[in-house]
A and B are shown apart, each in its own frame.
Chain A
Amino acid sequence: AAGVIQSPRHLIKEKRETATLKCYPIPRHDTVYWYQQGPGQDPQFLISFYEKMQSDKGSIPDRFSAQQFSDYHSELNMSSLELGDSALYFCASSWGSGGADYEQYFGPGTRLTVT
């Protein structure tokens, strides 16, 4: 079965540079979530989109922005990178059905290293 695809899998950037992470949800999934997991930490929610509209917002820095496109893929844009942004970034997708219970399926993650 098709899974969530994230690209790139690994990314190395320098401080103050920008980075763009991409997420391709499971086919027919219309909801995308972004999580950040620092070294030795638990995943922290950043932001989510349902039907191309932002649906929930967590601890996403102002330097980060994200959007969901018409084909439901999503991009997380990160500017003015800091050393503390080094982390695993997970994307998850689900089929949103307005109130019914459902699970999120996670991608393999993008490992961002800021030097």
Chain B
Amino acid sequence: DAKTTQPPSMDCAEGRAANLPCNHSTISGNEYVYWYRQIHSQGPQYIIHGLKNNETNEMASLIITEDRKSSTLILPHATLRDTAVYYCIVRVANTGNQFYFGTGTSLTVIP
């Protein structure tokens, strides 16, 4: 699985959009980009995933560059409850395949 690079920490003002970048320059054509977050010591929570098209759901938007070497997770209106560690993961979507969690980005939403 491709490795990812994320900034270790970011701040965002409450109510503003949080844009979390991720570099995955060695991604293969059959690897998906997944985003998870972990609030304190809770179980990681699925946010969104995509292959090459931009994706949007009720939680966030995922923007993947055309060459697929990087992506951005967008939380459109950050709230204090979005303070968490955000993990960008790339993996082949085969049954039973593990997720490799990198170091993630610790996002702090500031009132």
Contact = CB atoms under 8 A, between A and B. Distances in A.
Nearest to A102: B93
A42 B4 CA distance: 14
Given A42-B102, A42-B103, A42-B104, A31 B95 contact: yes
Q: How big is the A interface, by class?
A: 20 to 34
A106 B96 contact: no
B101 A43 contact: yes
Given A100-B93, A101-B49, A103-B34, A45 B99 contact: yes
B100 A45 contact: yes
Interface of B is mostly: loop
Interface in A79-107: 88, 90, 92, 96-107
A101 B91 CA distance: 10
Given A101-B51, A103-B46, A106-B44, A31 B93 contact: no
A49 B98 CA distance: 10
Interface string B70-98: 00000000000000000100000111111
Nearest to A55: B96
Interface string B4-46: 0000000000000000000000000000101000100111111
A103 B102 contact: no
A58 to B, nearest CB: 6
23 contacts: A33-B96, A35-B101, A42-B87, A43-B101, A44-B101, A45-B99, A48-B97, A49-B96, A50-B96, A55-B96, A90-B43, A92-B44, A98-B94, A99-B93, A99-B94, A101-B49, A103-B49, A104-B46, A105-B46, A108-B43, A109-B42, A109-B43, A111-B41
Given A42-B101, A43-B99, A49-B96, 11 more contacts: A42-B104, A43-B38, A44-B101, A56-B97, A56-B98, A92-B43, A97-B95, A99-B95, A103-B46, A109-B42, A111-B41
Interface of B: 32, 34, 38, 41-46, 49, 51, 87, 93-104
Which 5 pairs from chain A and chain B are nearest by CB?
Answer: A55-B96, A106-B43, A96-B95, A45-B98, A101-B93
